[in-house]
C-alpha cells in the first residue's frame, strides 16, 4: 500500500477529540464535586452505608424525603456520642458489603445480622437489635407453619441476607430478589411459596401496606438473631468507639427510647422483639404518593440519568472513534487491542462491567467515586458498542475521498476530521441514535453503584409505601418521554447531516 | 515551450502488485508548460504512473522528480519528502471525488485554507476567479450532487488548480461522462494547455490528444512502447500502437 493509501493510523486520536470530554469532566467536577468539600470540622468523617428502602429501619420519610428509621436514629445517636461526622450512602443491600470492602463506606447500619461467615470477614459492634425470623406466606397457604415445612418449597430472599441461608438450611429453594417488597409480590402472585425475614420488618410491611393477601405463617425457628453495625477488620478503633457509645446509650436509656418510638418495645435487649407493635410508616393514598414522588424522581432524572447519559455518550463516542480507527489501522497491535476491547464489552453484561469498575478496581488501587465510576463504565460500554458502527460508517465512505484529501495535501488527521468523519457521521447517526436510547435506559443501573437517579427514587418510595405498580410505571413513563424526545431530535439531525445529498 | 531542464523527470519506475509487475522500467521527461498525453490499453499501467507521481502508490524502484522535489524509491521515502513531492502536483480523478458534504466553493478553498494556511478571503477570491475560468460562476453554493457530471469534473479541475500546483495530473477526466458532456470538460483542459499549464493527461480521446499534446507516450505492458510528438498518433511506428489506435478510432 502506498503512503496515502488506506485509513491506516499513526495518531488515532486527534487533539480536538480529546479536549471536549476533558472539559466536560472539569465542568462536572466543578458542579457536582463542590458539596463534598464543604464541611470544615475536625470530627472524624464516617461514611454510613444503608439501604434507605427498608422500613422501619432505614427509609426516607415520605413527607420530608429525609433518611430516617430505627437504624438511622441509632447510628445518629452513636455518631453523636462518639463524635463522628456522619455521611450517609444509600445502596441496595447486596452492594453494601462490597462498598465496605472497597472503602466507599466505613460502617453498615442496616440490620446486619451477625453470622459466623460474616464474623470471619468483618468486625461487629455490640448488637443493637435482637429479632427473630418469621415465615411469610400467601393468606390461603395453610401447609407452611414452620421451617420444616419449607423443605422443597421456594422462597424469595435477598442474596446476601442471612435469611437466605436460613431458608436454604431448611431445605428450601431460594429465588433472589432485590428487597423485601418485590419478594412479597412474588408470594402474592404465587410465584414463590414463602419468605423468611425479620419479624419487625414484616410487621412494618403489613402495617404500611395494609396488604391482607399475605400473612405471618409462623416463626422461623426459635433462634434469636442479633443485628449490629459492621466494620472492616482493619478498623478496630471505629468498632471500639461504637461499642463505648452503645454502652453509654444503653445505660442512659437512649436506645430503649428510640426503640419504643418505632416498635412500642425495646428490641435492643434480648427477647424484646416478641412484643413488637409496628405503626404504619406511611398512610398516604396512591395518588398522593405518586404526586409526592414525581418531583424527586424528576430531580433524579436531571441530576442523575441525564448528566450520566451526556457525559458517557460524549466520552463513549471518542472511545468509539479511537477504537474504530485502531481497528482500521495497519498497525497490528492497535487493531488487536481494539478487537479485544470491543469483544469484551459486547460479550459481558453491562451490570458486570459496572460492578467491576466500581467494586473491583479499588482492589488494584483504582478507586473512583460513584459518578466517575458510573460514567467510566457506561462510556466504555457505549464505546465498545459504537466502535463497530463507526468503523462500518468510515468504511462506507468511498476510498476516493481519502485519496482526494491526500492529494490536496491533507495529513491523516485532517483527512479524518474534515473529510471522512463528517461523511461517516451521516451514515452513523441512525444506529448511534439507538445506542443513545440504550444508554439512557442503562443509566438506571447507576443506582447500583450508589449514584442517585430516577429509578432509585422510585424504589425508595415504593419500599416505604408498597406502591410498586404506580411508581414503577411512572419511572417507565419518565424514561419513555426522554427517549421519545431524543428520537424526535434524530430526524432533523439526520436531515441536517444529509442536506448535501440529493 | 522547452526549458533547459525538464520540469518532470521519471527514471526506471518499477511497481508490482503482489506477483503482478505493472511497471517494468518507465522513463520519461516533460518540460514546463508542455502537455504529455499517456495512451495505452486498459491495464497497461497508465493510472499507476500518474499515481506514482504524487505517491498515491509507492513505486518499488525508480526516481521521480518534479521541479525541485525528488524521491528515489530505492529506499522507503520519508514523510516530508512525500509531502514535498505531492505539493508540486494537483490531480483530477476519473470520477472527480469531490467532497460531497462541502459546497463547490468549500471544495475549492479546502486545500488552500486547511493545508496551505492561506487567508480565507484570499482563497475565496481566487476560487471565484477559477470558477469563472471553468465556466461555473454562480454555482459557488451548490453541492456537488446538484451539478451535472461535466460540471462536477470542471469543479474537480478547479479544485486541483486552487492549490497552484506546478503540474496538473488528469486521469481519464472524461471517461466517466456521458458523451454530450465530454466537450465542455475538454474545452477547459484545452484552455489550460493554451495558458501553458504543465499537464500530464491519461486519455482515450485520440483526437483531443492530437490537438493539444506536445508529447505522446504510448504505454504497453508496463513500459513506454512508443514515444514522440503527435506523430505517434498520426503515424505510429510500432505494431501495437497501430492496432490500439485503430481500435480507438473505430470505437470513437
Ligand atoms: N491497488 C492495486 N492492487 C492490485 N493490482 C492493481 C492495483 N492497482 C492497479 N492494479 C493492476 O495494475 C494494472 C495496471 O493498472 P492501471 O495502472 O490502473 O492501468 P490503466 O490505468 O492503464 O488501465 C492492472 O492490471 C490493475 O489490475
Ligand atoms: Mg486507469
Task: Render B41-76 in DSSP notation, one character per residue.
Answer: -TTSSHHHHHHHHTTSS--SEEEEEETTEEEETTSP
> Residue A404 is nearest to which of B93, B114, B116, comparing CB atoms?
B93
What's the pLDDT score for residue A269?
83
Q: If you take atom 10 of ligand 1, which residue's CA is the nearest one?
A: B17
The answer, yes or no, to whether residue A49 has pLDDT greater than 90, is yes
Confidence of residue A5 (pLDDT cuts 50, 70, 90): very low
Identify how many contiguous H helices and E strands chain A contains and give both numbers.
19, 12
Residue B80 is placed in which grid cell? 516530508
Note the pLDDT tens digit of each residue in A91-104.
Answer: 888 789 988 998 88
Read off the DSSP letter of residue A397.
S
What's the pLDDT score for residue A25?
55
The answer, yes or no, to whether residue A501 has pLDDT greater than 80, is no
Selection from A404, A424, A399, A402 nearest residue A413 by Cα: A402
Q: Name the 3-class secondary structure at A34.
A: helix
Note the pLDDT tens digit of each residue in A307-344.
Answer: 999 999 999 999 999 999 999 998 999 999 999 999 99
> Residue B97 is nearest to which of A3, A400, A422, comparing CB atoms?
A400
The ligand 1 atom at the shortest distance from the C-alpha of residue B171 is 21
Say how far apart CA A63 and CA B146 lie, in whole Å: 64
What's the pLDDT score for residue A3?
41
CB-based contact A418 B83, cutoff 8 Å:
no
- Chain A, 1 to 40: residues with Cβ < 8 Å from chain B are 1-5
Note the pLDDT tens digit of each residue in A234-268.
Answer: 999 999 999 999 999 999 999 999 988 888 778 88
> Residue A418 is nearest to which of B87, B114, B144, comparing CB atoms?
B114
Which residue reads 405463617 in cell numbers? A217
Q: Name the 3-class secondary structure at A277.
A: coil
Q: Name the 3-class secondary structure at B225.
A: strand
Say how far apart CA B45 and CA B24 lie, in whole Å: 10
Return the residue of B nearest to A402 by Cα. B97
Torsion of CA B172, B174, B175, B181, to 10 degrees: 180
CA angle B133, B139, B144 (to 5 degrees): 105
Confidence of residue A207 (pLDDT cuts 50, 70, 90): confident
**B211-244 burial code (b ≥16 CB/10 A, e <16):** ebbbbbbbbbebbbbbeeebebbeebeeebbeeb
> From the CB of B19, is ligand 1 less than 6 Å away?
no
Say how far apart CA A190 and CA A474 lie, in whole Å: 25
CB-based contact B58 A3, cutoff 8 Å:
yes
Say how far apart CA B25 and CA B37 lie, in whole Å: 18
Residues with Cβ < 8 Å from A144, sequence gap 6 or more?
A: A135, A137, A150, A153, A193, A194, A217, A218
Note the pLDDT tens digit of each residue in A345-367.
Answer: 999 999 999 989 988 888 888 88
CB pairs under 8 A between A and B: 78
Contacts of B55 in chain A (CB under 8 A): 2-4
Which residue reads 398516604 in cell numbers? A284
The answer, yes or no, to whether residue A149 has pLDDT greater than 70, is yes
Selection from A65, A80, A46 nearest residue A258 by Cα: A80
| Mean pLDDT along residues A385-392 | 94
The answer to whether A398 contacts chain B (CB < 8 Å) is yes
What mean pLDDT value characterizes chain B?
A: 93
Note the helical H segments in A264-349: 286-300, 306-328, 332-347
What's the pLDDT score for residue A19?
55
Note the pLDDT tens digit of each residue in B122-179.
Answer: 999 999 999 999 999 999 999 999 999 999 999 999 999 999 999 999 999 999 899 9
> From the CB of B44, is ligand 1 less than 6 Å away?
yes
Contacts of B160 in chain A (CB under 8 A): 407-408
- The radius of gyration of chain B from alpha carbons, rounded to an integer in Å, stands at 18
CA angle A453, A69, A224 (to 5 degrees): 120
Confidence of residue B251 (pLDDT cuts 50, 70, 90): low
Backbone angles phi, psi at A144, to 5 degrees: -125, 115
Q: If you take atom 2 of ligand 1, which residue's CA is the nearest one?
A: B17
Are A66 and A60 spatial neighbours (Cβ–Cβ below 8 Å)? yes
Interface test with B, best of A393, A409, A418 (most B CBs within 10 A): A409
> From the CB of B22, is ligand 1 less than 6 Å away?
yes
Are B39 and B171 spatial neighbours (Cβ–Cβ below 8 Å)? no
What's the pLDDT score for residue A421?
93
Are A426 and A19 spatial neighbours (Cβ–Cβ below 8 Å)? no
| Mean pLDDT along residues B109-113 | 97
The answer, yes or no, to whether residue B252 has pLDDT greater than 90, is no
Bridge partners, B227 (sequence order): B217
Residues with Cβ < 8 Å from B172, sequence gap 6 or more?
A: B47, B94, B202, B203, B204
Q: Name the 3-class secondary structure at A172.
A: coil
Note the pLDDT tens digit of each residue in B47-69.
Answer: 999 999 999 999 999 999 999 99
> From the CB of B42, is ligand 1 less than 6 Å away?
yes
Selection from A139, A111, A142 nearest residue A124 by Cα: A111
A384 CA to centre of own chain: 22
The burial class, CB within 10 Å (0-12 / 13-18 / 19+), for A251 is exposed
Amino acid at each position: 500500500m502506498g503512503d496515502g493509501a488506506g485509513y491506516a493510523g499513526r495518531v488515532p486520536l486527534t487533539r480536538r477529540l480529546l479536549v471536549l470530554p476533558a472539559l466536560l469532566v472539569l465542568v462536572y467536577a466543578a458542579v457536582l464535586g463542590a458539596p463534598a468539600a464543604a464541611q470544615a470540622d475536625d470530627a472524624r468523617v464516617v461514611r454510613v452505608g444503608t439501604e434507605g428502602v427498608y422500613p422501619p429501619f432505614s427509609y426516607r420519610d415520605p413527607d420530608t424525603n429525609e433518611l430516617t428509621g430505627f437504624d438511622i436514629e441509632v447510628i445518629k445517636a452513636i455518631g453523636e456520642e462518639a463524635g463522628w461526622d456522619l455521611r450517609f450512602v444509600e445502596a441496595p443491600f447486596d452492594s453494601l458489603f462490597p462498598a465496605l470492602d472497597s472503602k466507599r463506606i466505613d460502617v453498615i447500619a442496616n440490620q446486619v445480622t451477625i453470622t459466623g461467615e460474616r464474623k470471619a470477614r468483618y468486625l461487629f459492634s455490640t448488637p443493637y437489635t435482637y429479632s427473630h425470623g418469621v415465615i411469610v406466606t400467601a393468606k390461603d397457604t395453610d401447609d407452611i407453619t414452620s421451617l420444616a415445612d419449607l423443605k422443597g418449597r421456594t422462597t424469595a430472599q435477598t442474596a446476601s441476607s442471612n435469611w437466605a441461608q436460613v431458608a436454604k438450611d431448611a431445605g428450601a429453594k431460594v429465588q433472589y430478589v432485590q428487597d423485601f417488597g418485590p419478594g412479597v409480590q412474588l408470594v402474592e402472585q404465587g410465584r414463590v411459596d414463602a419468605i423468611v425475614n425479620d419479624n419487625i420488618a414484616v410487621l412494618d410491611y403489613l402495617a404500611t401496606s395494609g396488604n391482607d393477601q399475605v400473612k405471618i405463617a409462623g416463626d422461623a425457628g426459635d433462634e434469636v438473631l442479633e443485628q449490629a453495625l459492621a466494620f472492616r477488620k482493619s478498623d478496630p478503633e471505629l468498632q471500639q468507639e461504637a461499642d463505648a457509645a452503645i454502652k453509654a446509650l444503653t445505660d442512659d436509656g437512649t436506645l430503649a427510647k428510640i426503640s419504643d418510638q418505632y416498635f412500642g418495645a425495646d428490641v435492643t435487649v434480648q427477647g424484646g422483639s416478641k412484643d413488637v407493635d409496628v405503626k404504619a410508616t406511611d398512610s398516604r393514598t396512591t395518588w398522593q404518593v405518586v404526586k409526592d414522588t414525581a418531583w424527586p424522581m424528576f430531580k433524579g432524572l436531571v441530576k442523575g440519568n441525564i448528566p450520566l447519559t451526556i457525559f458517557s455518550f460524549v466520552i463513549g463516542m471518542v472511545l468509539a472513534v479511537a477504537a474504530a480507527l485502531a481497528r482500521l489501522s495497519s498497525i497490528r497491535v492497535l487493531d488487536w487491542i481494539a478487537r479485544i476491547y470491543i469483544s469484551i464489552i459486547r460479550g459481558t453484561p453491562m451490570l458486570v462491567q459496572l460492578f467491576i469498575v466500581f467494586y473491583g478496581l479499588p482492589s488494584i488501587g483504582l478507586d473512583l467515586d460513584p459518578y466517575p465510576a458510573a460514567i467510566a463504565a457506561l462510556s466504555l460500554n457505549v464505546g465498545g458498542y459504537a466502535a463497530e458502527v463507526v468503523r462500518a460508517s468510515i468504511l462506507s465512505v468511498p476510498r476516493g475521498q481519502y485519496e482526494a484529501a491526500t492529494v490536496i495535501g491533507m495529513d491523516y488527521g485532517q483527512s479524518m476530521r474534515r473529510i471522512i468523519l463528517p461523511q461517516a457521521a451521516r451514515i452513523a447517526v441512525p444506529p448511534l441514535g439507538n445506542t443513545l436510547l440504550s444508554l439512557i435506559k442503562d443509566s438506571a443501573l447507576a443506582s447500583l453503584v450508589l449514584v442517585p437517579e430516577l429509578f432509585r427514587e422510585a424504589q425508595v418510595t415504593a419500599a416505604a409505601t408498597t406502591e410498586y405498580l404506580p411508581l414503577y410505571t411512572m419511572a417507565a413513563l419518565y424514561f419513555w418521554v426522554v427517549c421519545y424526545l431524543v428520537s424526535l431530535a434524530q430526524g432533523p439531525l439526520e436531515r441536517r447531516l444529509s442536506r448535501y445529498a440529493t | 515551450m522547452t526549458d533547459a531542464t525538464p520540469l518532470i523527470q521519471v527514471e526506471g519506475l518499477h511497481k508490482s502488485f503482489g506477483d503482478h509487475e505493472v511497471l517494468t522500467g518507465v522513463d520519461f521527461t516533460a518540460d514546463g508548460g508542455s502537455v504529455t498525453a499517456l495512451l495505452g490499453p486498459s491495464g497497461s499501467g497508465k493510472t499507476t504512473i500518474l499515481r506514482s507521481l504524487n505517491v498515491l502508490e509507492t513505486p518499488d524502484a525508480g526516481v521521480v522528480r518534479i521541479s525541485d522535489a525528488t524521491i528515489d524509491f530505492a529506499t522507503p521515502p520519508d514523510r516530508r519528502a512525500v509531502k514535498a513531492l505531492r505539493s508540486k502536483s494537483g490531480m483530477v480523478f476519473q470520477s472527480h471525488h469531490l467532497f460531497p458534504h462541502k459546497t463547490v466553493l468549500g471544495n475549492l478553498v479546502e486545500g488552500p485554507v486547511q493545508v496551505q494556511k492561506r487567508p480565507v478571503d484570499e482563497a475565496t477570491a481566487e476560487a471565484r476567479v477559477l470558477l469563472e475560468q471553468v465556466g461555473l460562476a454562480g454555482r459557488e453554493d451548490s453541492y456537488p450532487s446538484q451539478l451535472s457530471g461535466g460540471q462536477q469534473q470542471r469543479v474537480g479541475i478547479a479544485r486541483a488548480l486552487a492549490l497552484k500546483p506546478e503540474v496538473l495530473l488528469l486521469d481519464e477526466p472524461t471517461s466517466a461522462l456521458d458523451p454530450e458532456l465530454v466537450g465542455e470538460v475538454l474545452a477547459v483542459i484545452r484552455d489550460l494547455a493554451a495558458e501553458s499549464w504543465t499537464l500530464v493527461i491519461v486519455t482515450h480521446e485520440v483526437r483531443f490528444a492530437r490537438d493539444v499534446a506536445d508529447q505522446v507516450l504510448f504505454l504497453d505492458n508496463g513500459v513506454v512502447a512508443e514515444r514522440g510528438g503527435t506523430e505517434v498518433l498520426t503515424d505510429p511506428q510500432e505494431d501495437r500502437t497501430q492496432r490500439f489506435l485503430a481500435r480507438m478510432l473505430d470505437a470513437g
